[in-house]
Amino acid sequence: MSRRYFGTDGIRGLVGQPPITADFVLKLGWAAGKVFGETAKGRKLILVGKDTRVSGYMFESALQAGIIAAGVDVGLLGPMPTPAIAYLSRTFRAQAGVVISASHNPYDDNGIKFFGGDGFKLSDEIESRIEHYLDLPMETGLSERLGRAHRIADAAGRYIEFCKSTVPSGFSLSGLTVVVDCAHGATYHVAPDVLRELGARVIAMGVEPDGININANCGSTQPQALAREVVARGADLGIALDGDGDRVILVDRHGAVVDGDGILFVIARHRHGGSDGCGGVVGTLMSNHGLKLAFDQLGIPFERAKVGDRYVIESMRQHGWLLGGENSGHIVCGDLTTTGDGIVAALQVLRAMSDSGKALDELVADMEMLPQVMINVPVAGKASIAGAPEIDAAVAAAETALAGTGRVLLRPSGTEPLIRVMVEGADADKVAELARQVADVVEKVLT
């Protein structure tokens, strides 16, 4: 059964425009309640958390009403990072966890994504079953069959303790100064506390959410202010999280940005040198070729998956590997978490720094990143690049110009109405020129 609403990361869009409306989310809650209620043995429970967008209040109420109408209890978590909801869904033995968030998007977007009771994102089959119920008339159960709602007051504390448990018990950040940018999002009340409780001197940014400032000129997509603060404060590290906390970008002591590829390299090499080793790493089609070359030198197997953390996790499970991620900052440590977790990934880098006695810039120095340029071309709706001769010709011309020293990749965004044009190669000027040429053709053809 094909899916009409679910994308690569749940259902997402502009608030007030279908399907991101109160009436749709009400029915979505009911449909999810019906699907997960069917398979529950004994108590039926779905956890609901959100980021800090102003529309989250409305959608939280709508989801709550729909789930209860389906006869399933609701545990309300309030503002919590996406990976926290995945973790808490497991520890509460819930049937599912629901996240109200549009991740790194601006405040006027929002979305709904689900985790199963195992903490992993839903299979295509379960998403299709939810969509099946969306096509049916919504029915409210009799009073004695309705679910109940309760608020889980200690959710933040539970997640903070979990994050701390992902490093050894004797691990300490004493003596380190860390600047953390929470993007005015869901980590604002947990990330600084995790770092403080581990002993760091913490300078917190982006911890004053007002409902509309989430991801605005801050966080993992715009770490420039963080970089300036790290240098000005003489800090050892900067941590930039996105609005729902499943992405992380780092800044070294000199203000240089280290993206997800660099983070993967540091964690993988640290594990490779440990007693358990590193079986292999999964990246994506967007991972820099320099990352693969660095892993080749270390003898660490590397595979590319489609873009999207669900595809990274699928590949990790197929290979039996425990580490994967995207250059955007989704880092999955499969021995610790079931999804991308920005705080946990940052702690693994801090552990590598502590064990090696080296600063972040020293740890990434052995990986040479090839120049890579990505241009986002806005398109109307879900425009396709397939079967467009002019676009195919532009890509072929760029690949010929690179002469085997790089690659060209075009792909539609799974979360935004964009075509991403990426060119990578040894010559930075040539890469930038070719990316612009291909993007111009895509824009001309599709818009």
pLDDT tens track, the chain, 447 positions:
457 899 888 999 999 999 999 999 999 999 999 999 998 888 899 999 999 999 999 999 999 999 999 999 999 999 999 999 999 999 999 999 999 999 999 999 999 999 999 999 999 999 999 999 999 999 999 999 999 999 999 999 999 999 999 999 999 999 999 999 999 999 999 999 999 999 999 999 999 999 999 999 999 999 999 999 999 999 999 999 999 999 999 999 999 999 999 999 999 999 999 878 899 999 999 999 899 999 999 999 999 999 888 999 999 999 999 999 999 999 999 999 999 999 999 999 999 999 999 999 999 999 999 999 999 999 876 667 887 899 999 999 999 999 888 899 998 887 778 899 999 998 999 999 999 999 999 999 987
In one letter, which amino acid is 340? G
Q: How many domains does the chain have?
A: 4
Residue 103 annotated in active site:
yes
206 and 184: one domain?
Answer: yes
Asked if 149 and 76 count as a contact pair (C-beta separation under 8 A), the reply is: yes
pTM for the whole structure: 0.91
Asked, for residue 164, whether it belongs to a domain, the answer is no
Torsions phi, psi for 149 (to 5 deg) = -120, 145
Asked, for residue 350, whether it belongs to a domain, the answer is no
Question: One of 55, 103, 287, 328 is an active-site residue; which one?
Answer: 103
Q: List strand residue ranges (DSSP E) for 214-341, in order.
A: 237-241, 248-251, 257-258, 281-284, 302-305, 323-325, 331-333
Asked, for residue 215, whether it belongs to a domain, the answer is yes
- Which domain CATH number covers 192? 3.40.120.10
User: What is the domain extent for residue 204?
Assistant: 175-257
Asked, for residue 111, whether it belongs to a domain, the answer is yes
Which residues are within 8 A (CB) of 134 and not within 5 positions of it... i.e. 6 or more apart? 5, 27, 28, 31
Q: β-strands 248-251, 237-241: how paired? A: antiparallel
379 and 330: one domain?
Answer: no
